[in-house]
Structure 1
């Protein structure tokens, strides 16, 4: 090893600069969520809302204060009406979402892996997906009768198309080099799907779950408003007809809380299933 002489200088010293460490710049665009920023923002909005109502800047008939909405929610909970309506809605959402998700995953993988299924499936999905699923509810009532079946079928249809699109889009996004490499080692087709395609498509599938959960929530409210005695949608419609805006907004808050819970569950699934990222 040749040692540098005393009269030799480094390029940084020759230019008169100081040696400094350069920070790592390859974080990979991974935005982090703050645990308290969202809560603080919601608290500020609720505080301003309550202040405007207390100062009579807002007519309570049109927009009750948060305290009035909270009192309405407590009364509904104590009377048992809240739990009855919520139980019906959760049953419809859960059953319809599961049926639509299972069918969407099967069809989505078929479209992503089969030429024939892609040729036929994308044509039908492109033709039927834009149709508002709630518009099919009267027809489903004629086919399935008056009961839970048409509401569940409406939710399942709405969830199915969004899930199928998310699944086959995720399958298409899997790097083909990984599939070719597995095929070059004579890995069985089922193992390629299980170990290569499924993990690669999983981020898109979980992102689709967030969308389909919202779709299911929208459809159950719409279906319950049209033909249901119990459910959050039926309760909101009845409260609006009676101009009970505090109870109406109580139902809206319950729907919002339900959406937050579903979002938390999907985030938990992402943390558990996508550790490899």
Structure 2
């Protein structure tokens, strides 16, 4: 026998190394302070330029004067008197146009006969400038709220339809075939595969549609509206009151930021499966 001593196997625990999760590549990260910093820098540059004379007061008012105008609007109650009707018109018109647009877009994406009948019609309506139809809507629905709702709804409808059926078309067909191979029903495939897969494209289309709705809201309120952000901007422009004019523009910008934040919140809630 060999005189070499036998050594017992080592019972020391093996060292483990933690590896960072690398499955979230290309996922967007939110840095809210960057956007706020950009706005602050631009406002400071505008304030400095208007105070030093580098920017003419005839072309751009001081941001401090615009903020002062905001305070006067709030204290006088005119802010909510103009903002309330605008929000109501935007909510009614955009909701109607978006709901009908998503429904029609899904039907176009799912059914070939509906696609054959409606895609040429949508293609004919989509390039028409919606603002050019405002006089026609006034003739059809009157000078009151009906024409404003119709213009906003129609302007929201067409881009939503295009974005929705394009999103349905872009759903991975491999997933659909997999569902068919597992014996899922047609409705189960639509509900569990097609609609979730199309949702990112639908929400992206809604961002554009709602931005168009805000533009059409201003155009509609500039014709025959006593109160509203568009009417306020028109009054300020006719008086060449730059502070009030830019205050109205800032309100519209904040309204766009609010709409974008709502869409982002919906995306986080319904698209959590992408992370």
What TM-score, normalized by structure 2, do the two folds share? 0.89
1:201 and 2:228 are equivalent in the alignment: no
> Distance in 2 between the 1:265 and 1:88 partners?
20
Is structure 2 residue 85 aligned with structure 1 residue 85? no
Matched, 1:127 2:124: yes
Distance 1:185 1:40 in 2: 51
Q: Does 1:169 align with 2:172?
A: no
How far has the Cα of 1:56 moved from its partner?
2.7
Structure 2 residue 50 is the aligned partner of structure 1 residue 53: yes
1:221 alignment partner, one of 218, 222, 225: 218
Aligned to 1:265: 262
* Structure 1: 5+ residue stretches without partners: 1-21
Shift of 1:54: 1.6
Cα shift at 1:233: 0.6
Question: What's the counterpart of residue 250 of structure 1?
Answer: 247
For 1:131, what is the secondary structure of its paired residue? coil
Q: Structure 1 CA distance, aligned partners of 2:127 and 2:79?
A: 34
- Unmatched segments (≥5 aa) in structure 2: 1-18
Aligned equivalents of 1:81, 1:35: Cα separation in 2: 31
* Pairing 1:99–2:99 present: no
Could you tell me how far apart the structure 2 residues matched to 1:145 and 1:237 are?
A: 21
Aligned counterparts, 1:227-238, within 5 A? 227-238=224-235
Question: Cα deviations across residues 68-109 of structure 1 (Å, max 9, x unaligned)?
Answer: 000111101111111111111111110011100111111101
**1:42 partnered with 2:39:** yes
2:272 corresponds to which of 260, 271, 275: 275
Which whole-Å CA distance do the structure 2 matches of 1:48 and 1:177 have between them? Answer: 53
Report the Cα distance in structure 2 between the residues aligned to 1:41 and 1:173, rounded to whole angstroms.
35
Aligned residues: 257
Q: Deviations over 1:117-163 (max 9, x none)?
A: 11111100111100011111111111111210111100101111111
TM-score, scaled to structure 1: 0.88
Distance in structure 1 (CA, Å) of the matches to 2:30 and 2:246: 28
Q: How far apart are the structure 2 equivalents of 1:62 and 1:230?
A: 26
- The equivalences for 1:23-38 within 5 A come to 28-38=25-35
Aligned mates of 2:106, 2:218 — CA distance in 1: 30
Give the whole-Å Cα distance in 2 for the aligned partners of 1:103 and 1:27. Answer: 35
Query: Which residue of 186, 191, 213 corresponds with 1:189?
Result: 186
Task: After the TM superposition, list the runs of 4 or more consecutive aligned residues in structure 1 that deviate by more than 3 angstroms.
Answer: 22-28
**Cα distance per residue 1:180-234 (max 9 Å; x no partner):** 2222333222221111111000000111111111011000001111231211011
Which residue number corresponds to residue 63 of structure 2? 66
> In structure 2, which of residues 148, 154, 161 is the aligned counterpart of residue 151 of structure 1?
148
Matching residue of 1:178: 175
Q: CA deviation at 1:25?
A: 7.4
1:24 deviation in Å?
A: 8.3
Q: Residue 221 of structure 1 aligns to a residue in which SS?
A: helix
Q: Secondary structure at the match of 2:59?
A: coil
Partner of 1:75: 72
